[in-house]
A and B are shown apart, each in its own frame.
Chain A
């Protein structure tokens, strides 16, 4: 029991540090998905687009689990509790999770909902993998109205280059 409390305290401390918050700000720690982000699950991955920055991001299945839970109604620590209760957290897992939340914050994909803690947190879905895998942003790209195009009109424009695109 003592070990368990010690683990929780260390975890909470680490997450406060990752989020750039002090313990005195506790109660305003509910991270939620930012309103300017649209997202969908596509196959096993979760895809986000930042509507203002015009960027697309893909999360791995583990990242998708955490993303879906970011509804503003729970402390980030609760993710760890739900996983730790199932003995799925290897050593260093909290660091990976903290880093992941840090990446989401840096990319402006999440925001802090100061009033969210008054709401009850719903149940988290089952972790989708048999073993813990670090949550990650695995791909990102800037969205654009592409500007380069091969455009051959016989007699009206130069033939397209036939150089293969890698």
Chain B
């Protein structure tokens, strides 16, 4: 639901990305309605302690290669520290993040991709753990499988084959709570809210003929996870925090190399083979 705030017809909507609550404010109702389509299921009541992102639409045309205002469009992001936070700039949009005031101002075309690019840098700064380029699938017993790998490795495919057990197919937030690994689905790209203790990490790759599963060492798992982590590279403090979480994840959670063919039986195979 879009709420109309008092201030000069600015409307707002609030969503939860894990336990990070973001309140989006804008005069652009069309943009706010895009949020509701993209983040469907992640809406929460507006709360005063939420991090506020205010969007100001720029009167520029959408990039011609953009199929829809909802479509992702990855642009090179230039980020530099400021007195209060960070200034983020891409080819077509710009943002100011004020970490102490817990606000951000975003300017760009009235589409979702400027926000995608801002969140890619903001969320790792706000989350007390790490954000992995991975799908999250529940194992049927309220524990989570983290399925990760670079673009093309099969995250979307493995999530699609998991059907109702899939919770996200692109980004998952991870942290340790009382020493136990917890995974949280983030609303990218096809996702629904869910949070589970983590059972295993699956490092994905495609197979030509048959499924295969092999345990890998904690060191190997860390190397692979390191390249699939959203590193908050502009903050040394946040980098150190993410690194601590990554090392704990690689040490504490069993990891496997999963080669799979995109067939319906892949999750039966995983359920049987992963101890």
Which A residues fall within an 8 A CB radius of B?
Answer: 36, 38, 40, 42-45, 47, 49, 51-52, 54, 56, 58, 139, 141, 143-158, 160-165
Contact = CB atoms under 8 A, between A and B. Distances in A.
11 contacts: A42-B251, A44-B217, A44-B219, A144-B231, A145-B231, A146-B228, A151-B170, A153-B71, A154-B190, A156-B71, A165-B153
A54 B243 CA distance: 11
Contacts of A146: 133, 227-230
A114 B115 CA distance: 48
A143 B156 CA distance: 24
Contacts of A158: 67
A4 B81 CA distance: 55
Given A58-B219, A139-B223, A151-B72, A43 B251 contact: yes
Given A45-B219, A152-B189, A157 B236 contact: no
B240 A42 contact: no
B18 interface: no
B214 interface: no
Q: Which 8 pairs from chain A and chain B are nearest by CB?
A: A164-B206, A40-B247, A151-B72, A43-B218, A165-B152, A157-B71, A51-B236, A45-B219
A149 B188 CA distance: 11
Interface in B199-253: 205-206, 217-219, 222-223, 226-233, 236, 239-240, 243-244, 247, 250-251
Contact of A42 (B205, B218, B229): B218
A143 B71 contact: no
Given A42-B250, A47-B219, A151-B170, 9 more contacts: A42-B247, A58-B222, A145-B231, A149-B133, A150-B151, A151-B72, A153-B68, A153-B72, A160-B156
B152 A150 contact: yes
Interface in B64-109: 67-68, 70-72, 74, 76-77
B240 A38 contact: yes
User: What bracket does the count of chain B residues touching chain A fall in?
Assistant: 35 or more
Nearest to B204: A165
Interface of B: 67-68, 70-72, 74, 76-77, 120-121, 124, 133, 149-153, 155-157, 170, 188-190, 205-206, 217-219, 222-223, 226-233, 236, 239-240, 243-244, 247, 250-251
B189 A43 contact: no
Nearest to A146: B133
Contacts of A38: 239-240, 243-244
B67 A148 contact: no
Contacts of A47: 219, 222, 243, 247
Contacts of B150: 148, 165
Nearest to A37: B240
Nearest to A164: B206
A164 to B, nearest CB: 4
A136 B112 CA distance: 46
Given A146-B227, A146-B230, A160 B247 contact: no
Contacts of A36: 236
Nearest to A138: B219
